[in-house]
Amino acid sequence: MDIHISRMHYPVTTLGPGKRIGIWLQGCSIHCEGCISMDTWQFNINKVSINDLKQVLKTWLPQCDGITISGGEPFDQENALIELLEFLNSYNKNILVYSGYSFDGLKDKKLVQSGLIDVLISEPYDHTKSQTKRLLGSDNQQVHFLTSLGKSEFATYLEQPLEKELDIHITPETVWMAGIPINGMKEIAQASKENNVTLSHSQAVTKNK
């Protein structure tokens, strides 16, 4: 089976406890206002075979502490994600998945019922809401411990105060960022402007699936 991937990074240290593999899926039908990942909205690009993906992931999995899957909207590729998570689960690492759908709409889905996800963060990003909790872009989002492993690995982590934390990697061609910026991109854009840095970030693509 194939899956559409925006990017993968290791280590990511700001989206859950420890050094994690971060996988951003490509394609999102939700389109929250203020989304900082608009480059992940477009469907039908960046297709890879899950078997090829496994070969890359095998180099990181033995050393990682967990896996975080974001997007894009992971549940827009539910069947492909189930196949990927079945492979990842064989390594006994905790798995956090973000979704912009409401938990009411997700709770009966095969993927949520499967036991393959340890922690699920649901609900769309809402830029009008406050942001006071770790791992959440806005306080309307909900954390669901779907396994005992998820609760044991994340409960204490989530009680710690929200800090300004971002992973930033710079290459000659680009800069990538992982984590939940405070106030979306506003503070980063302001700081960049004050330092005469021109910042361009991801743009919306409006093609739907």
Residues found near ligand SF4 in the complex (CB under 6 A): 28, 30-32, 35, 37, 40, 71-73, 100, 124-125
- Decide whether 118 or 123 has the Cβ nearer to ligand SF4: 123
Q: Give min distance, CB of 200 to ligand SF4, in A.
A: 18
- Decide whether 32 or 149 has the Cβ nearer to ligand SF4: 32
The conformation of residue 161, written as its DSSP 8-state character, comes to P
Q: Give min distance, CB of 158 to ligand SF4, in A.
A: 19
Longest C-alpha distance within the chain, in Å?
A: 49
Indicate the residue whose CB is closest to ligand SF4: 100
Q: How far apart are CA 111 and CA 39, in angstroms?
A: 25
Give the pairing of strands 47-49 and 20-25.
unpaired
Q: How far apart are CA 46 and CA 135, in angstroms?
A: 26
The conformation of residue 77, written as its DSSP 8-state character, comes to G
- Decide whether 29 or 89 has the Cβ nearer to ligand SF4: 29
- Decide whether 86 or 187 has the Cβ nearer to ligand SF4: 187
Q: How far apart are CA 140 and CA 14, in angstroms?
A: 20
Q: Give min distance, CB of 194 to ligand SF4, in A.
A: 26
Q: Give min distance, CB of 102 to ligand SF4, in A.
A: 11
Residue spans of alpha helices (H) in 114-184: 148-159
- Decide whether 26 or 94 has the Cβ nearer to ligand SF4: 26
**Which amino acid makes up residue 150?**
G
Which residue, 80, 77, 74, is CA-closest to 53? 80
